A and B are shown apart, each in its own frame.
Chain A
Amino acid sequence: MITPLDDFLAATVRTATPLALAALGECLTERSGVINIGLEGAIICGAFGATVAAGTVAATAGGALGLTAGFVIGAAAGAVIALLFALFTVWWRADQIITGTAITLFSLGLTGLLYKTVYGATGVGLTLPTLDAWAIPGLSALPVIGRALFAQPLITYALYLFVPWLAWWFARTHAGLALRATGESPDAALAAGVSPRRVQLLATVAGGTLAGLAGATLVLAQSGTFVEGMSAGKGFIAIAIVVLGRWSPRGVAAAALLFGGASALQYLFQSLGWTGVPYQLFLALPYVLTLLVLARASARSRAPAALARRELTLS
């Protein structure tokens, strides 16, 4: 029997998935000393890229290929937007926060414009393949956590592997060390023969790729359609998740679950029949939680020392 709690936990993991993807991307970028406030833009561009690619390919080549194309093009769209951000901030050393804000506004406007251009004002005729949950036999029958953790779409399972891999990569590889060194002290990195510019460029594009995947997940594994502005601040929530997760992949994944839970609460209360509480309260909850979490975590946090610094080297 499926209880409201089962549903709540499953919804928690489901809504946490795109948040975790985007936040891990931002974590990667921030460890190199770049704060990408334009993450929201990469998410919405990923969502739109996935919509167009999946819709087009699925119409001729079937659902499975359509989904693959959707995730690939979604990731690529996120990467392109991040590359634009990197051009301004890593190359020209423009202010990361103002540029990121402009990139977000640009992406929200552009996707809205292209959506109306491609699909018309109403979006009629937009049919997309969806990535459905796939229950792992055996594991999904576990009590309480079984359905939540092991009856999810494939992209969630990919995260289970990616989080420990990223932690290992940060800690144990030369490339991971170069990335962390750049974020803490570009001077030291330079002295060690690492090009801070190159590292930051790659880290920003990689972060945008993950944010693009997050956007693709929103469309292909959750809502099944594209809506203008559907990123709804998730890029900014993801930045808060990185702070709460203290810039570590496992911490970020755990923090994403907390935010997934906050978003999923509305389903729980709906199924429990709590109709007296205005639903806007639940809609606002993740944003309020972000503020509370940042207030708790910012003061004690240890951000990469060179985060958001414009001068790449002191010389």
Chain B
Amino acid sequence: MSATHQASWVGAVQRLALLVGGTVFALVLLLLVTGHDPSVALRALVRGAVGSWYAFTSATLVRAIPLALTGLCVALAFRAGLLNIGAEGQLLMGAAASAAVLGTVGASLGALALPLALLTGVAAGAAWAGVAALLRQRFGVLEVISTIMLNFVALYTVGWLVRGPLQEPTGIYPQSASLPKAVQLPLLWTGTRLHVGLVLAVLLAIGLWWWQRSTASGFRLRAVGQNPHASATIGRINVARVSVLAFLASGALAGLAGAVELTGVTFALYENLSPGYGYTAIAVALLARLHPLGVLGTAALFGALQAGGNAMQRDAAVPIALVNVVEALLILLVIAGDRLTAARSARA
């Protein structure tokens, strides 16, 4: 991993080109296998993702925002050696908590309501990750399993909330009441759906990048992720403390993603609020080599893929699941590539 830190811009551009090439290759292959005309489907994909200013801002970038925030969540956790697969659940709990605050005391708070809602989302995401952190630290529970279980519990919790305490007043639809304009995130660009969540994601990515490379606590995080045993014995680092804090911070980022999605895009809580952003985030983080700035790039790529995938489904009748397969294939390609490079350098 250390080599990638010093990687030049050339290296980054090379990797991005490989990534885009791999994506196109996987897409064409899967389209052919499932009997679709690649040229028609890919044209629909490109049109849906970057075909117009509106498509780029309102489809691609709007989807890139939750992907970037959850991608940062996964990247931070993985960097600390924590396999947090629970971004999806943490996102949902963030959105749910934020909806609960806005639905109950939101109207009485005026201008404070929106920031409070975002902070509640952050806290709820951290708390939900905290359950897994506690189980790991106190009882040695593998966090991969606990976070996936918590994803399901979060999904059912939202399912209950939108049919129970948070259901909209008419009681017909399984969703919360629509948010009034005053508590929606401001738009970044009038005439599009792009909201200020983008600025938030970019600032957080820059902040996390600076923090990881330039501060002592950022160094401790990386040290614990690389070798907890050496960190404890040689570095005298309190590994448990670093791990728990990293887990909480990671969950906080996903919780923020949920609150931002609620106040910036959906304006109501419902079960399908996230089309699996928390799972795609794993690909986003791994393909960015866990680099916070890289996450912005891969989030944009996957945002385009998701936006284009929707257009492909609409215009060329290609199931959106195809995009999920491409994402998983890319993760496997990265793992295979890493292993083959490692084997080659071991032999040299």
Q: Which residues of A contact B (CB under 8 A)?
A: 37, 88, 92-95, 97-103, 105-106, 108-110, 112-114, 116-117, 121, 228, 232-233, 236-237, 239-240, 278, 280-281, 283-284, 287-288, 290-291, 294-296, 298-299
Q: Are A290 and B149 in contact (CB under 8 A)?
A: yes
Cβ of B329 under 8 Å from chain A: yes
Q: Using known A-B contacts A105-B328, A294-B135, determine if residue A95 contacts B335 with beta carbons closer than 8 Å.
A: yes
Band of interface residues on B? 35 or more
A281 / chain B contacts, CB cutoff of 8 Å? 156, 160
Q: Is the CB of A112 within 8 A of B319?
A: yes
Q: A-side binding surface: helix, strand, loop or mixed?
A: helix
- Neighbouring A residues of B101 by C-beta, 8 Å: none
A106 touches B332 (CB 8 A): yes
Q: Which of B131, B145, B156, B321 contacts A284 (CB 8 A)?
A: B156
Would A110 and B325 count as touching, CB distance under 8 A? yes
* B143 and chain A: residue at smallest CB distance: A97
**Known: A113-B325, A290-B145. Contact between A92 and B152, CB under 8 A?**
no
Are A233 and B152 closer than 8 Å at their CB atoms?
A: yes
Across-interface contacts of A97 in B (CB, < 8 A): 83, 144
**Min distance, Cβ B230 to any Cβ of chain A, angstroms:** 16
B316 within 8 A of partner (CB): no
State whether the Cβ of B22 lies closer than 8 Å to any Cβ in chain A: no
**Chain B, residue nearest A301 (CB):** B140
The residue that B335 contacts in the complex, of A102, A278, A283, A284, with Cβ under 8 A, is A102
Interface centre among A112, A228, A291, A299 (most CB of B within 10 A): A291
CB pair A117 B34 closer than 8 Å:
yes
Check A298–B139 contact: CB distance below 8 A: yes
B75-105: CB near A (< 8 Å → 1, else 0) gives 0000000010100000000000000000000
Name which of B107-115, B195-203, B338-346 contacts chain A.
B338-346
**Which residues from chain B contact A105 at a C-beta distance below 8 Å?**
279, 282-283, 324, 327-328, 331
- Cβ-defined contact, A294 with B139, below 8 A: yes
CB interface residues, B 163-208, toward A, < 8 Å = 163-164
Residue of B nearest to A102 (CB): B331
Q: How far is the CB of A295 from chain B (nearest CB, A)?
A: 4
B336 within 8 A of partner (CB): yes
